[in-house]
A and B are shown apart, each in its own frame.
Chain A
Amino acid sequence: MSRVEIRVTISSDQDIVVARQKGRSLALELGFSSGDATLIATAISELARNIVSYAGSGQIALKDLQGSTRVGITVTASDTGPGIPNVSQALRDGFSTSGSLGLGLPGVRRLMDEFEIDSKPGQGTRVVVKKWRP
């Protein structure tokens, strides 16, 4: 059960900054070190940017994560954009359809502890990532 939920609508590059700032402060509130808060904010930045670049608009939801013995944070990035036809390809370092570095998704996976992606062509993409407080 979570106690906090913060939603940020993502439709422009300004919103990316807002989302990652909110993510950082929630992470700090939950007791993450500032180093970890930076990792979390960076992951949020990548996910939000993908929404702006590929789906146009969507949402970032930030929640606390209450495990039986530990606390964490969940970040959910969702959009109703074009979806990703080949997810495993998109998760590979260096794959990009926009001529970019192709490090966003695989990087987010390294930055966070848990990573789930669900994408259907024509319907949208949903990425759920979690990080636990050590």
Chain B
Amino acid sequence: MEVPILKQGAVLIATFQAALSDADLNHLRSALVQQVVRFRSRGVIVDVTAMDVMDSFASRTLREIAHIIRLRGAETVIVGIQPEVAFAMVQLGLTLEGVATALDLEEGLAYLNQKFKTMK
């Protein structure tokens, strides 16, 4: 299953589907990194609204994505984690430490714009 990546100005938006397999996640990671480099993006939003389970693998992949993208000089924000999913994640011990989070796409964009201002 392909994860669509949308380019909106300096920001890339990747929208997760409900049933992503490990292979899909790995694919997404490399695609995102490639495009950040290619478009010189300054920010990445990963929208996980549709995901109904976030297990240790998905969570680790998100952290890795944020990390690699930071090395490329851009900021990542994860948006759309559902309340129930968040609850399951913290029970499991997954807190996405060091990764920015926001309520939804709109908030994620607001967060990045704020970041861009202070980075200048």
Contact = CB atoms under 8 A, between A and B. Distances in A.
Touch between chains A and B, by CB atoms below 8 Å: yes
Interface in B54-80: 54-57, 59-60
B52 A106 contact: no
Nearest to B26: A13
Given A34-B84, A103-B93, A107-B93, A13 B55 contact: no
B91 interface: yes
5 contacts: A16-B22, A34-B84, A101-B60, A101-B93, A107-B94
B56 A49 contact: yes
Judged by DSSP, the binding face of A is helix
A14 B84 CA distance: 23
Nearest to A17: B19
A41 B51 CA distance: 12
Interface in B76-118: 83-85, 87-89, 91-94
Interface in B10-62: 19-23, 52-57, 59-60
A38 B88 contact: yes
A100 B21 contact: no
A41 B56 contact: no
A63 interface: no
A17 B20 CA distance: 7
A35 B91 contact: no
Nearest to A37: B84
Contacts of A41: 52-53, 88
Contacts of A14: 21
Contact of B85 (A20, A38, A100): A38
Contacts of A110: 91-93
B55 A42 contact: yes
Interface string A12-24: 0110110011001
Contact of B19 (A21, A35, A100): A21
B91 A101 contact: no
Contact of A103 (B54, B83, B92): B92
